[in-house]
Structure 1
């Protein structure tokens, strides 16, 4: 029999992977073929950061890396670049999850927005430095990246509200038991 804390951890990991895969599949669906619209939010990044800040034990680094790598491959982005940036960002957020807990949501939101901005800048700098061939993965225009960043920052409270409604809450002090 699995201990209760380990069982909760495995259920949380399974739910995170299922939600992440559902978001990737949703991004692949041709909802409006031929129409070019506004850049939508990066729901997967928002979900990952929200989950890491609420239940870091349920989102190990290898699961984040694997899910983000799958997103890179399936969404035809530079393979591994988004995954590497997401791993660095989630680990930075994980290390600061406890101090951020003591402050309100607005402070968390501002810090997550800054982290997302750094993720976009890291992506653009890496693409420019390593001159990824435009045929393989064209660099999106700066305006599109800025619109995606703004959309993701404003989507973050929605993601937090949905995860909270589904029962994902912050761990109380001393509640985290990593098995």
Structure 2
């Protein structure tokens, strides 16, 4: 027999993978011949952070690393650097999930925004340290701002469309284990 909790976790993990693949696919489509004037938000990062805030068991570390490593390869970035930075950021949030669970959304948004900014700056500094060609600092900050602005919309979509909600304090699974 299949455990309902395990089946639910597997289905949400598959959904996370499918959403990340869809965002990557759309981002790789040649929709315009002109270069982008304004950098768009990193929706996969928003999705990963929102799911780690809400249900850390739905976005395990290995799945996050795989998704961002594939994104690194497809976006022709240095393989593994952004995946490592995102892994460290999501594990930072995962370790503070119980602390952040009962705080208002504005605090969650501020913590997530500061984390997104820190991750982008660390990525930019490491690439600059090793003299890797990259975007200037201005467009990087613009992408950080758009990602922070997009975060509440991703949270709303994950909550109301996908049904990924926070666990309540003391909530247990079907086997009586704390979630």
User: TM-score normalized by structure 2?
Assistant: 0.93
CA distances 1:10-61 after superposition (whole Å, capped 9, x unpaired)? 1110111111111111110112222332011011101100011101001110
Q: What SS does structure 1 have at the residue aligned with 2:33?
A: coil
Aligned residues: 174
Q: CA deviation at 1:175?
A: 3.0
RMSD: 1.4
Q: Give matches, 1:23-172, under 5 Å.
A: 23-132=23-132, 138-166=133-161, 167-172=163-168
Q: Structure 1: which 5+ residue stretches go unaligned?
A: 133-137
Q: CA deviation at 1:98?
A: 1.4
Q: Distance in 1 between matches of 2:112 and 2:36?
A: 28
Moved more, 162-171 or 59-68: 162-171
Q: Distance in 1 between matches of 2:49 and 2:103?
A: 16
Q: What SS does structure 1 have at the residue aligned with 2:134?
A: coil
Q: What SS does structure 1 have at the residue aligned with 2:77?
A: coil
CA distances 1:51-74 after superposition (whole Å, capped 9, x unpaired)? 111010011100000000000000
- Alignment check: 8 A CA contact 1:57 1:176 kept: no
User: TM-score normalized by structure 1?
Assistant: 0.93
Q: CA deviation at 1:174?
A: 3.2
Q: Structure 2: which 5+ residue stretches go unaligned?
A: none
Q: Distance in 2 between matches of 1:12 and 1:36?
A: 33
Q: What SS does structure 1 have at the residue aligned with 2:34?
A: coil
Structure with the bigger RCO (C-alpha within 8 Å, sep 6+) is: 1
